[in-house]
Structure formats: C-alpha cells, structure tokens
Structure 1
Amino acid sequence: MKLYASNTQLEELIQRLISQTASISEERRAQLDKLVEAIKTDISSFGIAQVMMICTHNSRRSQLGEVWLKTLIDYYNCKDIEAFSGGTEATAFHPTMIKAMTEVGFEFQQIEEGENPHYKLTSLRNPANYKSLFSKKYDDPFNTKENFIAVMVCSEADGGCPFVAGSSHRISLTYEDPKIFDKQPNALEKYKRKVYEIGREMLYIFSKL
C-alpha cells in the first residue's frame, strides 16, 4: 500500500520500520499486545478506539506517539481508530522533536505562534485529519473525555496517574525521555532514534489489528 506518493521519504521510512518489527523483543511485544487487545475491544464495544498518549509535559514522547498514530491511521485508511495526546501539565511541543520528525519525512505547518505553538501535520494523505497539534493536559477540552485508551508513555505519568478518569483501559507503555540528551551535541540523532523506536512499535500494533 503506497499512500504517500508525494512523500517518498516518509513512505520509505514506514517500509523500513515495518521490516524491523521482528526485532522487537518478546517481552516488549507482550506489552504492545495489551494495547492491541484494548483497541480491538473498544472497536467491538464502542465502534471506535480512541487512543490517548499521555506523559508529563506533552512535549516529546506523547506528541510523537500521537503523530505516528495519526500517520498510520491515515496510511492504513482506518476509520475506527482516533489518536490524541495529553500531559499531566501543558508546556510546548518541543522544537527538537519537531526537527527530528521533519528530517525523517514528516511535514508540519505552524498555524499559531506563542509559548505553546500549534501545528498541523500536513504529511497526511487526508486533509480532514490535519487536526491541531499542541501541548495540552490530557483532560483538555480539545481531547476526548470518555471511553479512551490511556497509554502512559512516561514513567512519571505512569506512576503519578494510577487512575485516568474517563478511560476504558490504562496501558503502561513507557519510553526513555530524549530530554536527557538536550544539551549533548548528538541530541538530534538521539531524538531521531526515538522517532524510529516508537514508529516501529506503532507499526507492530497496526500489523496485529
């Protein structure tokens, strides 16, 4: 399936990461499979699975997870999955994460300036999916409020939110924060590795749906 004819870099990245899903460990697959089953259950129960990636600041990992989900929903033309992200507090979509994603093929358009800029993910095939990306709390009015799958992608939010109001499932799927590399000369490359890691795992999930 080639839906990204106008974006060969992103198409090639997706195909490369698909070929790498076999390298995911059995232990990690067991965690990912919990999200797969939650998605299947909610589609069966509600007709749609609403997946919300949650971390502390909604600036790096949760934003990256949302972008990958939106991209793969579009790529596989899924009508019964939606993606959101939020934090336990709001900050800003980190510029190094945006730069890392842009360099590997994602395309963004900044639509609002300020301390917490808003962006559109314009590398999607369907313009109807160009929803605004910005840092927000998970219970922000912009996000869905009930029957969503809360995916805790950082250990801080995972430990600090044992219960997420409105969620149908709570899945622990934590990733190391690329923030630890921010002051290092190789920070951008480390951020790119996080793009590849989360992309590979999201592609594994879609391969099981």
Structure 2
Amino acid sequence: MKLYSQIQNLVQELEEDFSSISSERKQDLALFAEKIKESIQQFEKAKVIVICTHNSRRSHLGQVWLRVAANKYNLPIETFSGGTEATAFHPNMVAALQTAGFQVEETSSGENPRYQITISEEDNNQEQLFSKVYSDEYNPQENFIAVMVCTEADGGCPFVAGSVARLALPYTDPKYADGTSEEKEAYQKTLKEIGKEMLYTASLV
C-alpha cells in the first residue's frame, strides 16, 4: 500500500533519525518488537492496545503510527487504543495528524466523536478512532500486547486482564502546551517522537 506522499516523506525523515533514540529506549523498543514477534509466531498476528489515561492524545498516536509501521514493514499487526477512563479524541491531536498528512474524517459527532483515518489512497481500513476504556468491546479481550504510553496509566494499571504482555513506553503529554503559542509545535514533536519509535520497533520485527 503506497502511503500518501506527505506521510511517506515523514516516514523517511523519521527513519533517518533512528540514531537519535537513546540506547536505553532502544532496549525497551527491542523488547516490544520481541513481544510482537512472539505474538505473530503464536497467533499468526499481533494485536496491540496502546493505553494512556484518557485515550485522547498519545494512545491514538501510538495506534495510528503502529498501523503505518506495520504497513511499511508488511507485518500482521492489528492496532487499538484505550484509556483507564474515556473522554474524547482531543481536537488538537486530530489537527496534528491532519497537518502531518493523514486524512481524517469525522464519522459521528457529539461529546466523544468518532473518526476514520486513512494513510493511503487504497486504505480501506474501517477502524474507528474514539475515546474508550481499554477493555471496551471494540478492543480485543485476550491475547493482546498492552503498551502503556503514560506514567499515570502505567501506575494505575499494574495488571491488564487478557494481555499476553504489558510494556511501559511513556511519552510526555503535549496537553501542557494547550492554549499557548507552543501548542502546534508540542503536538508535532510528540507526533514525530511516537512515529519514530513505532517505526523503529517495526523495523526490528
């Protein structure tokens, strides 16, 4: 599947920057890659739920970028996201994805809207992105890898029922910049950081 050119260019930029990932972080990502490999061997595909507290920013980014990485490296990975509580997919993160070249369509409105995100012209993925708890029926209930991308969810969720592995990969929440002149820059920085690390992980599988 040929990615939209803007996303393709960004992927190339991020892959060229793998050397900036610290050796300590690379060890964590190598463990993630190992768990993905094990799941593919055992179940023929890996299911990954990316989890942060509100399922509003970082967890959605992890879900979207891991799907891009799976496509790039031709891996059988299904991606999901969830929180320890549900709020809404934050509009600033939706805007950041659009700025980066992702096609975002709002499929339902309200307090917790649903979105469909496409990464190429031939992308027929029907995945709905919205805020939900990680155990929501929309997500797999067993044999999945749980990836905690915030320290709060990591501390609040020492055990994730149904998971075959649980990993902590915390990222800084860009919400610290909401309503300031640094807002766009902070969201793009987080978007690139998570993108780079999901691509690096997939490259190891």
TM-score per shorter chain, which class?
Answer: over 0.9
Gaps in structure 2 of 5+ consecutive residues: none
Amino acid at match of 2:17: Q
1:67 matched residue in structure 2: 64
Matched positions, count: 205
1:175 pairs with 2:174: no
- 1:9–1:104 contact (8 Å) kept in structure 2: yes
- 1:100–1:189 contact (8 Å) kept in structure 2: no
For 1:194, what is the secondary structure of its paired residue?
Answer: helix
- Please give the TM-score of this superposition, normalised by the length of structure 2: 0.96
1:149 matched residue in structure 2: 145
- 2:48–2:78 contact (8 Å) kept in structure 1: yes
For 2:82, what is the secondary structure of its paired residue?
Answer: strand
2:122 & 2:145 partners in 1: Cα distance? 24
Amino acid at match of 2:197: E
For 2:64, what is the secondary structure of its paired residue?
Answer: helix
1:140 pairs with 2:136: yes
Q: Kindly report structure 1 stretches of 4+ aligned residues shifted beyond 6 Å.
A: none
2:48 matched residue in structure 1: 51
After TM superposition, the structure 1 = structure 2 runs for residues 1-209 of structure 1, keeping only pairs within 5 Å, are 3-4=2-3, 7-78=4-75, 80-209=76-205
- 2:118–2:124 contact (8 Å) kept in structure 1: no
Which deviates more, 191-200 or 41-50?
A: 41-50
Deviation, 1:145, is: 0.4
For 2:12, what is the secondary structure of its paired residue?
Answer: helix
**1:129–1:75 CA distance, 2 compared to 1 (3 A):** farther
Amino acid at match of 1:127: D
Deviation, 1:110, is: 0.6
Deviation, 1:183, is: 2.6
For 1:158, what is the secondary structure of its paired residue?
Answer: helix
1:123 & 1:96 partners in 2: Cα distance? 19
Gaps in structure 1 of 5+ consecutive residues: none
Once superposed, what is the RMSD of the aligned Cα atoms?
1.3
- 2:150–2:169 contact (8 Å) kept in structure 1: yes
- 1:71–1:124 contact (8 Å) kept in structure 2: no
2:83 & 2:122 partners in 1: Cα distance? 27
Amino acid at match of 1:3: K
